[in-house]
């Protein structure tokens, strides 16, 4: 494998103390605070941002990014990202229906006309579908081990960052499900279903 010294960059995630430098054959490698990977900007403070969602087909680009390739990325979307996704989705739906915001048509009517549900509901369904899949696997499965893992030590001062299971627990409460319900695949699928009308 060959590595380009001039193009190589590195990033430290949640750096608490100043780290040293990285050298490649005597040349210092550039340190960055963010980089783009598979269309998403990854930042050193463990946030994703600055994404632009563009699609020529009716909402498919947003739905695909939320349901298939980025199901794990959506595990930790904040309110800001969810609102940005909703704005992008409605912009595409309006474009495909040939209406503008100046026409004064409500978002619910646009979704009903296009027969498309809310994107955050679809994202929730995708997250819970993945969680149910992992819960039904054997206990030795690495995904299951990671979900159940408790890290030693104390968390940092200040408001605690939202963990993956915090979000899953909120969403399970929202749909009225529990971890035990995930064992029955058909029942779990029925409980979390909130697709297009």
pLDDT per position as a tens digit, 96-123: 888 888 998 898 888 888 888 887 788 8
Indicate the pTM of the whole model: 0.57
In DSSP notation, the chain reads: ----TTT-EE--SS--S-----EETTEEPEE-SEEEETTEEEETTS-EE------SSSSHHHHHHHHSTTTTGGGG--HHHHHHHHHHHHHHHHHHHT--GGGT--HHHHHHHHT---HHHHHHHHHHHHHHHHHHS-TTSHHHHHHH---SSPPPSSSPPPPHHHHHHHHHHHHT--GGGGGSHHHHHHHH-----
pLDDT in tens, 14-54: 666 666 788 888 888 888 888 776 666 777 665 555 444 44
pLDDT in tens, 68-89: 444 444 445 667 877 888 888 8
- For residue 63, pLDDT over 50 is answered with no
pLDDT at 157: 86
pLDDT at 19: 67
pLDDT at 64: 45
Burial per residue of 99-133, b for 16 or more beta-carbon CB atoms within 10 angstroms, e otherwise: eeeeeeeeeeebbeebebbbbbbbbbbbbbbbbbe
Proportion of the chain above pLDDT 70, given as a percent: 75
Average pLDDT, stretch 184-189?
Answer: 89
Please indicate whether residue 177 or residue 74 has the higher confidence score (pLDDT).
177
pLDDT in tens, 128-146: 999 999 999 998 888 888 8
Q: How far apart are CA 46 and CA 19, in angstroms?
A: 17
pLDDT at 3: 76
């Amino acid at each position: 494998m060959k590595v380009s010294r001039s193009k190589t960059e590195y990033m430290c995630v949640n750096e608490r103390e100043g780290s040293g430098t990285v050298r490649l054959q005597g040349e210092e490698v550039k340190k960055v605070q963010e980089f783009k990977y598979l269309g998403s900007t990854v930042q050193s403070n463990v946030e994703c941002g600055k994404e632009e969602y563009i699609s020529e087909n009716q909402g498919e680009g947003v739905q695909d990014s939320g349901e298939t390739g980025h199901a794990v990325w959506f595990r930790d979307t904040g309110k800001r990202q969810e609102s940005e996704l909703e704005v992008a989705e409605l912009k595409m739906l309006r474009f495909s229906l040939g209406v503008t915001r100046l026409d004064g048509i409500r978002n619910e009517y646009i979704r009903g006309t296009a027969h498309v549900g809310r994107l955050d509901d679809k994202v929730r369904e995708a997250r819970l579908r993945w969680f149910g899949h992992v819960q039904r696997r054997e206990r030795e499965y690495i995904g299951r081990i990671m979900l159940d893992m408790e890290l030693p030590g104390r968390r940092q001062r200040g408001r605690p960052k939202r963990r993956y299971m915090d979000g899953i627990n909120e969403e399970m409460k929202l749909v009225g499900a529990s971890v035990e319900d995930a064992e029955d695949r058909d029942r779990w699928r029925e409980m979390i279903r909130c697709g297009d009308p």
